[in-house]
Amino acid sequence: MASPGETLFTIPIPPLNQHPGGAVTVTLPAPQVYLLTITSPPDNRLTTASCTAILDALDLIEFGGYTPGVVITTSGLPKFFSNGLDLEHALGTEGFLPGVLYRLFNRFLTYPMPTVALLPGHAFAGGLMLAMHHDYRVMNPSRGFACVNELEFGVPLKAAMSSIFRLKLPPQTYRDLVLEAKRFPGEEGVKAGLVDRAGGLGEALELIKERKLTDKAKTGIYGLLKAEMYRESVGFLTQAGYDKEEEKDRKLIEGEDRRKEEAEGRLGSIKEKAKL
């Protein structure tokens, strides 16, 4: 039987392109609490290699003979929880979104134990999305920002990426994150409903103890309850949901192109009316 403080196992993250690789390590900071630490320098980008290692670790926790409890996901890099996707890898790898990233999001969203994202530093874009697919979030009050900055680099949010914010956040926070790319530090994140508590591992363990989270998975229906709670997101995270939304996006983009062309055609007469 594992003892508190013990390292249970380590899953290697192999090198991928410019990413040197790293590891996902699972330790036991308290009974029935599994601390999953991602260390993939320089900033824990979500790639096929890192996502697969995290998925393997989650499988081992669930099916490897360990007592059901709580999973805390954190980073071994003090500056970053995760800096999101490697866009070049994501766009250049066939099936990455539905087959890798969305699979990881769905695994956390419907995991059969309570999950806590512990953010020691920045959680940007896909990194914050990863945290949002956990049940609870605890964020460093003195370092790091939580931010959805797709607006700043011109990448529209996919339905599966956006829906989790709509389901879990107050409308004003959702608006500020997406339409202003606002950066939330820890204490402000608590006030905005983005995180549940400011702090570190100690505060995460306090949250688990106060809410008696280590007992919640014992009936075996915890994941099913979450799948129903968040069924909109669950649907978007499947291959069928992805295919359906891609077709919607294609039609939306085509419609926007037509709108701009029609406006260009009307522009001359509009200028005449305005005497420009």
Whole-model pTM?
Answer: 0.95
- pLDDT digit string (tens) for 147-197? 999 999 888 999 999 999 999 999 999 999 999 999 999 999 999 999 999
Q: Is the pLDDT of residue 1 over 80?
A: no
Measured CA to CA, the distance from residue 194 to residue 182 in angstroms comes to: 12
The radius of gyration computed from the CA coordinates of the chain, to the nearest angstrom, equals 21
pLDDT of residue 15: 96
Q: CB under 8 Å to 230, separation ≥6 — which residues?
A: 109, 110, 164, 167
Q: Is the pLDDT of residue 271 over 70?
A: yes
Sign of CA dihedral 60, 123, 239, 47: negative
Measured CA to CA, the distance from residue 257 to residue 68 in angstroms comes to: 51
pLDDT of residue 153: 86
What is the signed CA dihedral for 44, 56, 72, 120, rounded to 10 degrees? -10
For residues 127 and 44, the answer to whether their CB atoms sit within 8 Å is yes
- pLDDT digit string (tens) for 237-257? 999 999 999 999 999 999 999
For residues 11 and 57, the answer to whether their CB atoms sit within 8 Å is yes
Q: Is the pLDDT of residue 275 over 90?
A: no
pLDDT of residue 155: 87
Length of the chain (residues): 276
If phi > 0 it is left, if psi is from -120 to 50 it is alpha, else beta; for residue 196 that is alpha
